[in-house]
Amino acid sequence: MNASYSLNNSIIPAALVMCALGSMSAYTFNMIPRLTRLDESNDHKRTMSISQAWEKEVGKDSAWLVSLFCFLTPFGTALTFSIVLGDMLSMLAQSMGLSGILMSRQALLMGVTSAVVYPLCNLKSLAALAPVSMVGVGGMCLTAAFMVLRSLPSSPYMAAGSTFLNSIPALSRPSFGLIGNNALSPSLLILVSMCATSLLVHFSAHDFCDDLSDNTSKRFKKLTAIGFSFTVLMNVIFMAAGFLTFGGNCQSMVLNNYSPKDIGATISRLVVAVSLVGSYPILFR
């Protein structure tokens, strides 16, 4: 692989797309409470929902569309979480050597949803999920470090005939110079969709604003800048490390590329699963 070619023609354009989407997402996220919560000059006229803000600025006739999308957005995100969670649970079961119908992807997802996700979604307060959030943030940093290490030339995924390579399907093994190096390919739309989904937290803007101590416009803007900057940085690291390791065969959920025998990948999948489970109550709230 020509690392310079991949950097200039794939990684840098993808990073720029991620930064652009991150900037737009941060701006719109910051605007929601400004329109509905943080109007210091008209405290008694604060609106309480995005649809009410739409009615105020545009009109009542189309406000139902806003309410509909405010429902469909977290619903679609929860569905995405379930797809990813199913992948993580399936790979974890494979790493543990489990098999049989009870260890199938569908059975594992149904079991975790019924026994863990549903009770968590019934919590009256999300304060108990604070430790899970910290595990999620720490887990993402750990996963990023693991992926960077696996992208180095000394990585076992770079050595032909290694145990890790032999334990993954051919379509998941590193492939360079064939696909994935053209920034203008139709796969760019997939990248944009994935980036947008990773930044999709706008339905929780009110919760972040209400729970922020001394929630002035300045403090909320600072919170938004830090949060979205960190998210963009982590996504760029994931994209770059995944592509440098697997090239054109890098899957949309990159952890699916790694061998079930890779202990680092197994730990990363576990933390991602824990983080996802702890995120469902935010979506349902």
How large is the average pLDDT for residues 247-275? 91
Q: Is 169 helix (H, G, I), strand (E, B) or coil?
A: coil
| pLDDT tens profile 75-105 | 888 998 999 999 999 999 988 888 777 678 8
Residue 252 belongs to some domain of the structure: yes
- Closest Cα partner for 12 from 194, 196, 244? 244
How does residue 208 score in pLDDT terms, banded at 50, 70 and 90?
Answer: confident
DSSP E strand stretches across 135-198:
none
175 forms beta bridges with 247
Render 35-91 in DSSP notation, one character per residue: HHT--GGGGGG---SHHHHHHHHT-STTHHHHHHHHHHHHHHHHHHHHHHHHHHHHH
How large is the average pLDDT for residues 222-250? 92
Residue 47 belongs to some domain of the structure: no
How large is the average pLDDT for residues 258-267? 94
Question: Between helices 12-36 and 50-57, what is the axis angle to 10°?
Answer: 80
| 79: CB partners within 8 A, 6+ apart | none
Contact 263, 142 (CB under 8 A): no
A 10 A CB-CB count for 101 gives 7
Residue 112 belongs to some domain of the structure: yes
pLDDT at 5 over 60: no
Tokens matching residue 237: 């690291």
Q: Is 247 helix (H, G, I), strand (E, B) or coil?
A: strand
Q: Which long-range contacts (CB under 8 A, 24 or more apart) does 192-200 make?
A: 192/17, 192/21, 194/252, 195/17, 195/18, 195/21, 195/22, 195/235, 196/21, 196/25, 197/77, 197/80, 198/231, 198/235, 199/21, 199/22, 199/25, 199/228, 199/231, 199/232, 200/25, 200/73, 200/77
Instruction: Determine the residue type at 45.
Output: K
Tell me whether residue 189 is exposed, middle or buried, using C-beta atoms within 10 angstroms of its C-beta: 0 to 12, 13 to 18, 19 or more: exposed
Higher pLDDT, 9 or 52: 52
Residue 45 belongs to some domain of the structure: no
pLDDT at 181 over 60: no
A 10 A CB-CB count for 70 gives 16
Higher pLDDT, 139 or 46: 139
Higher pLDDT, 252 or 101: 252
Tokens matching residue 40: 């210091």
How large is the average pLDDT for residues 42-69? 79
How large is the average pLDDT for residues 59-64? 89
| pLDDT tens profile 114-167 | 999 999 999 887 777 878 778 888 888 999 999 999 999 899 998 888 889 989
181: containing domain: 3-40+52-284
Higher pLDDT, 31 or 8: 31
**Percentage above 70 pLDDT, the chain:** 88
How does residue 2 score in pLDDT terms, banded at 50, 70 and 90?
Answer: very low
Q: Considering Cα of 211, then 127, then 86, then 229, what sign does the dihedral take?
A: positive
pLDDT at 43 over 90: no
Residue 114 is predicted with a pLDDT of 94
Residue 172 belongs to some domain of the structure: yes
**Global pTM value:** 0.83
Task: Give the mean pLDDT of the chain.
Answer: 84
Residue 98 is predicted with a pLDDT of 80
Residue 130 is predicted with a pLDDT of 78
Count of the separate structural domains present in the chain: 1
How does residue 180 score in pLDDT terms, banded at 50, 70 and 90?
Answer: very low
Radius of gyration of the chain (CA): 21
Q: Considering Cα of 70, then 76, then 78, then 81, what sign does the dihedral take?
A: negative
How does residue 233 score in pLDDT terms, banded at 50, 70 and 90?
Answer: very high
pLDDT at 53 over 90: no
